[in-house]
Amino acid sequence: MITSKIIESASLWLSNPISSNTEDAIQYSNQLLSDLQSIIEKNRNLKRTIGPLLGRVKTMQKRLSNLELVNWVNIRNGYLAIGHRPSTKLTEDLKLQHATHILTLLSKSEGAEQIKILTSKAELGWLWFPMENAKPISEERAEELSTLFSSMEEILEKGGKIYLHCSAGIHRTGMISYAFLRFINFGSDEALAKLKVMRLDTYEGVGEERTEWGNKMAMHLKK
């Protein structure tokens, strides 16, 4: 009975290793490894059955130890995080952190469709708002931007977790995330404070021109 409960616990943990934070997850994995090894020591005949499970727990523990964490900030009922272009590893790490969507600001020539492929493999939703550079966007794309922001707001209202990125995760990322926060009625100071918590480099590098554009565009979209 005890053996079956430990096996069940290990299997459940592998399906959702991060229920609170990585430190707790690693500590729990240590206990699982100890329990599984104890089972094998008491009954060597179970090694063939328990061994593969033990290996999977060790592999997941190693992944958690090397996890690239992002700062998830509570927005509405969900969470928003910002950062650099996701690699295969980061995409997998975002999945472990319960991300539901990735929003890409890269242009097609920058390989945006490669991010789409990575996102699909991770079984995450993909949003795309292509930007060739970090210059403020013209009002000609206002409707497109409004559609994006409305989709983001809906995802967050439903408890989703969106990772928003460009290349380095500073200029375009800062501009769009700030404008989005203003669009959903965050005050300018509050929006900047959220940006600072999400990523200090982005907060420091976004620039006054882009935040001023975000203020004006948010007001335009809400008319």
The Cα–Cα gap between 16 and 19 comes to 7
Provide the 8-state DSSP code for 38: H
% of the chain exceeding 70 in pLDDT? 99
Strand locations in the chain, DSSP E?
Answer: 73-75, 78-83, 101-104, 125-128, 161-165
Averaged over 137-159, what is the pLDDT? 96
As a whole number of angstroms, the distance between CA 98 and CA 92 comes to 10
Q: Which residues of 18-56 are buried (b: 16+ CB within 10 A; e: fewer)?
A: beeeeeebbebbeebeebbeebbeeeeeeeeebeebbee
pTM value > 0.85: yes
Over the stretch 29-43, which tens digit does the pLDDT of each residue have? 999 999 999 989 988
Q: Residue 1: which pLDDT band, with cuts at 50, 70 and 90?
A: low
Q: pLDDT at position 43, please?
A: 87
Domains of the chain, earliest start first = 2-65 (no CATH), 73-221 (3.90.190.10)
With 70 as the cut, is the pLDDT of residue 126 above it?
Answer: yes
Give the rounded distance of the alpha carbon of 108 from its chain centre: 22
| Contact predicate 151/160, CB 8 Å | no
